[in-house]
Every structure is written in C-alpha cells, then in structure tokens.
A and B are shown apart, each in its own frame.
Chain A
Amino acid sequence: MNFVPLALYSAALIAYVWHFTARHPAVGRAATTLLVFGALAHTFVVGMQTMEVGHIPVTNAASAISTFVWLLALAYLYTEMTTDERAMGAFILPLAVGLQSIPAFKPVIEQRAEVLQGPLFGVHVSALLFAYASFALAGVIGVTYVLLFKEIKAKHLGFFYARMPSLQVLDTMNYRAIVIGWVFLTVGRLAGFVLAGNSPSYDPRLQAMSLQDPKIFVALVCWAIYSFEAFAARALGWGGRRSAYLSALGFAIVLLNFVPVSYFLTNSHNF
C-alpha cells in the first residue's frame, strides 16, 4: 500500500526539481497537485492501517517512518501554502521519497507490544514524529539558507539567488520550525519518560531504557542542540548561517537516530 504514495511523491519530486530549474509556473502547480494527491493517498494508507490495528501505525521503525513521511508532506504543504514558496519542495521531496522507500520495499506487520498500550504511548510517538517533521523542514531550510548565503557572500548571484526567498524569510521559517519542533520534542520525551516509569519492568526493552542506550543518548543530544538553537543561539549572536548549520546538523542526528540506530543499535526501542 505504501507504493502508491511513493509513486506520487516521486512524480512530485521530478516536477519540483523541474520547476526549480525551469521556473515554469504550470510545472510548479503540477508539482503541488501531485504532492497533494500523494499526501491524500498517504492519508488513506495511514487511515487504513489505523483501522486495521486500532491505533496509528507507529510501533515499528518502518511504519513510524511512513507516518513521519506523511506528517512531513503535510507540514511542507502547509508551509508552501502559507508562504506561497515552492523552491523548498525540491529539497524536501528527496527526503520524503528516500524515507518512504523503506516502508514501501520492506514492510513490517504492525504488532503492538503489551508495554505500548495506553494513551501516553500515542502522545509519545505522535509528538516525536511531528517534532521530527518540523526538524526535517528546518534542516532543509537551513541547507538552502547556507547555499543562498554563500552565493551572496561570494558575490556570484546565480542559481539559488534567482530561486530562493530572502535570507531573512529563510531564517524566520527556520526559527519557527525549530521552536515548534522543540515543543513537540519536549512533550514527546516527557511522555516517553513517564511511560517508561509506569510500565511493568519485566520487558527486557524497558530495562534497557537508560542513557547507555544509543537511541536515548542520541535523543538527548538532539534535545540539547535544539534547546540551544531555540533559546540561546540568537542571543549569543548565532543567528543566520550558524543557526542554519545547527538545524542541518540537528536533523542529520535525528535522521541517524530514526533510521540506522532504530534498526541496528538500540536495545530499548526495537518493538
């Protein structure tokens, strides 16, 4: 089922890249239309899975990635519609397509472990996935900020200069995405903390919930980075390019934690 959104996201990716290079308005509209259809198809897929298993499909890495891509597509579409700015699509869609390939080609049957019952689990995972979608947007905005910054600084006003919104707009969008992401990250982490504390301790995965577990450790590093960026960076004169680099770095760590660490390293989160 995850193939249909993947195909539509791939078609949207081609259209966004084409629009970015050729800047033909009709191609831009086609790109947005394809993405809207991709997100709708994805909503249907997530909805069907939710009905099938009785909760949002997030309990294993593959289904969590699919749900994350769905939230990312929705968050990006919201940003595009509120800012009327399509340039970022060419940077977001490769991420969506790359990640959606995992659940599409390697689906895992959703099974909810006993320890994952209760409303707190839903808050934990949904808030974190939404935070990751925000950080993905911030990371991509950060990369585009750096590309544009370099062109202006080097006085070679070319490809990105003609296609990107202003540095100020990118910086504001980046900051907004970081703050929203930080709020959800914090809520998600607190819910996870409470959930682990209240759950029966016979499950070996719960016993592994400590700072020594790579997933939890990296997650705390992320939280520290985003806390710094959201509250301290600008006050210390770390706005602009440095903040953009931080967003990109933060998201690289999120991605690392989300895919390879979840699949291979963690002992606590392999549900």
Chain B
Amino acid sequence: MHLFLVGISHRTATVELRERVDFQTRGLASALGALRARGIAREAVVLSTCNRSEMYGVADDPASARLAAVQFLSEYHGVDRSEREPHIYSSADGDVARHLFRVSAGLDSLVVGEPQILGQVKEAHGAATLAQTSGPLLHRLFHSSFGVGKRVRSETGLGAGAVSISFAAVSLAKKIFGELKGRSVLVIGAGEMGKLTALHMKSQGVQQVTIVSRTMANAVRTAEAIGGASAAPWHEMTTLLGTVDIVISATGAASPILTKAQIEAVMRPRRNRPLFVIDIALPRDVEAAAGEIEQVFLYNIDDLQATVQENLARRASEVQRAEAIVTEEVEKFGAWMRSRNAIPIVVALRQRFDAVRRAELDRLAAGLPPETRERVDDITRLVLEKLLLTPTEQLKQIGDPEVVSAYAETLTRLFALSTPPAETESARPEPPARSDRRVEPFVRPQKR
C-alpha cells in the first residue's frame, strides 16, 4: 500500500495554467466522484486552492497510479497533456508526507507562512471524508499534517508579522489603538490604494469611513464602492482631522496637502488623542515633519514596505526551524507507515489462533447453556488477545520490510498460516493494541 501525489502549483505553472486545472470550478465532490469512478486509487483527497491543484492517493502500484492520475488531470480539465505535463510534479510515500506537511505549515505557499492554507487542507480532507474517498491512510496523513501546521504556527515565528502593505497598516493600527471596533477613518483621495486600505480597515471592524476628494463625485463613488462609507467635501478635511483616529492619504497631488502646522492645530482640540497617519501617496501627501508631533504616528509607503520586508526576512529566518518540525513529523509518520508492514502477518496470526479457539469452543462447550457458553467465549477471547499482545507490538515495531518478511515466513511455517489477500488490509481496522474489556469471573450456573 503506497501513497502517491500528483499536482501542479505556483512553483511549476503560471496562473493561466493553474486556472485551467482548478478543481474548485466544478466542485471537489465532482472531482472525487470522477476519480473514484476511474478506480485510480483506493483512497483519494483533492486539494485545490488558487495556488495549487493536487491529488493525494493510496495505491498498490504508485507508478501506474501516478500515470493514471496525470492522465485524469488532462482529461477532467480538457487540457492537452503535452501542454501541462512539464508543469506537473509527482511523488510517492515519504515524499508525499513531507510535501503535504510543508504545504500545511505554509512553507510551500507563495507568501511563506500564510495562514489560510491550513484551513484549505482541512476543507479538502473534509470533502473527501464526505465523499467517502478518504480511508485510514490518508486520514492519518492529513490529521498529521494539521498537527504539523499547528505546531509550526505555535512554535516558530513563520506566520508572524504582516507581509502586505495593507496588512502592515492594519496591524500597526491595532498596535496603537487595540481593537479597531468603533474607530473612525478618514480617506483623503478617491484612488484605488486608499480604497483598498480602507476596505481592509472596515473588514477589521472600523465603524466609520469618510472619503474626501477634491471632486465630490469621485468621493461619493468611492464611498459607495466601499459600502457603508460616507463622502465629505474637500473643505471639511481639517474639521474631520480633529475627530478621526486614522487618516489614509492617497491623492495624486504634486505637493504635500497636509502640513505639520495643520496637524499640530488639530491636536489641541483632540486633547492629543493618538492619530495614525498612513501616507501611501507618491509623491507624499503629508509633510514628513508632522511625524515629530507627540501622539502622531506617521507612516509612508516606504516605511510600510520596510516593515513588510523586515517581516519577510524574519519569516525566512524561521524556515529552518519549521523544516526541522516537518522532518520530525515525517519521521513519526514514516514509523507509523512501517508499522503497517506487519499488519498482514498479525492479522493472519490472529485469524489462525481465533479459528483454533472457535473450533475447540464448538467441540468442548457444545453442551453448555448459552449463558455459560458466552462466558467461555469471552474468557478465551481475552486470553488470546493477551497472549497475542506482545508479539503484535513487537512485529509492528520492526521497521525494515525484509526483517518483517523473514518473521512472516517463520510464523507462517510455525503456525501453518495463510496470509490474507493484500487488498483487505488497509480497510480492515487494526487489532486493538490492548483490550480494555473486562470479563466477569466465571460463575457456574446453578442447576435448578
């Protein structure tokens, strides 16, 4: 039983090609259904985001399964095979686990450490569980990957710090004002950048957004585009400066529209309440000296960009720690996978012992009343489980498949076992490691 992976991502393909092989368009359920109909894999999960389309599967022969999956990718999306084949990557077994763990940790993301991917991986697994295409192997693999994602986020700084201009502005605002709920924002200029930053602020709970522009009609249009914002005429700008908490300035003016003196004048009526001024215009809208005023926090586009760069560098320095966690978890998963090599022989051994037990039970306990027979059945089963516990654990701990097969051969000869067919093993639940069942002491039924 082997894991395999076939996929295409931002590392190997352009956005045009990624769009054409996106599984989200027709829904994950449809893709999973089509995969099952083709019988490519015993288990399958499809992960589809704007940066990647990947199929994770379990098959007896991973090489042919990978070929079939590549073929499926072409046919399902109607893309010519020769066109997208150079962009497809595939892997098997341990490499699949490493890849998925890196994906969940955000190490393979376009913006390293971004948090959304973990939710998307969970969604992919959820869809496969719903479509009943995920089995014990992929279930374990994906749950391990959720754990990796959480560990990397809590134990490293891979996801820390804002890595886009608007996120940087929002996180700075939060560091100054705490929660943004109930705060008010003044946007100067009706351009795209100002609108985007204001939208971002609004999504964080900002209560009031006001747009001022030299052309009132533009201000109204931008306010409508933001939704729930209001527009004000240009001459009200100074009055508004006295009441708002955050100013986003993004006009196309050739010289500063806000001077130090203007801002100083409004700070007195504000009783020096903090004012966060984000100047994302080029050339700058706000006189640099305004940043010297007590309780005025002035950030221009370069300052925000520098913050983003610092955060990216900090994230890059955390990559090694995150990779170490991934390696540790891949080893754990590998150990679990190896322990599965022993499952056929364990199952055969248990079946053989159980068959003997049942035969003897039928022979010796035939004349007993049903209640007593049930007790005897329970006790003998428990004895069997206890006897087989140590050999089961010992066999599962052997990592080397060759040693496992040597043991299997010996056990087969000693106990005249018949190894169960391979296809049943993955679906079969593992024998319990330790039985919690308790059997009441045997009480001979009283004769009436």
Q: What residues of chain A have their CB less than 8 Å away from a CB belonging to chain B? A: 24-25, 148, 152-153, 155, 157, 161-162, 165-169, 234-242
Contacts and interface: CB of A to CB of B under 8 A. Distances in A.
B160 interface: yes
Interface stretch (B43-51, B110-118, B169-177, B414-422): B169-177
Interface residues of B, number: 26
Which of B160, B174, B297 neighbours the largest number of chain A CB atoms within 10 Å of its CB? Answer: B297
Given A152-B172, A155-B303, A235 B178 contact: no
A166 B297 contact: no
A241 B160 contact: no
Nearest to A162: B160
Contacts of A239: 271-273, 295
B154 interface: yes
B299 A155 contact: yes
7 contacts: A152-B175, A167-B177, A167-B178, A168-B177, A234-B271, A240-B294, A240-B295
Interface string B299-319: 100010011001000000000
Nearest to B296: A153
A157 B161 CA distance: 10
B307 A157 contact: yes
Contacts of A169: 178
B176 A168 contact: yes
Contacts of B399: none
A153 B274 CA distance: 11
Contacts of A25: 154
Given A152-B176, A155-B303, A166-B177, A237 B154 contact: no
B235 interface: no
B39 to A, nearest CB: 46
Interface of B: 154-155, 160-161, 172, 174-178, 267-268, 270-274, 291, 294-295, 297, 299, 303, 306-307, 310
Contacts of A167: 175-178, 274
Indicate the member of A25, A155, A241 with the most B CB atoms within 10 Å: A155
Given A25-B154, A237-B268, 15 more contacts: A24-B155, A152-B175, A152-B297, A153-B297, A155-B306, A166-B175, A166-B176, A167-B175, A167-B177, A168-B274, A236-B271, A237-B267, A237-B271, A239-B272, A241-B294
Contacts of B297: 152-153
A24 B155 CA distance: 7
Contacts of B307: 155, 157
Contacts of B270: 237
Nearest to A151: B175
B207 to A, nearest CB: 15
B178 A168 contact: yes
Most buried by B among A157, A161, A162, A241: A157
Nearest to B176: A167
A236 B299 CA distance: 26
B126 to A, nearest CB: 27
Contacts of B273: 239
B52 to A, nearest CB: 30
Given A152-B172, A155-B303, A165 B178 contact: yes
Nearest to B162: A157
Contacts of A168: 176-178, 274
Nearest to B267: A237
A18 to B, nearest CB: 15
A238 B272 contact: yes
B333 to A, nearest CB: 24
A161 to B, nearest CB: 6
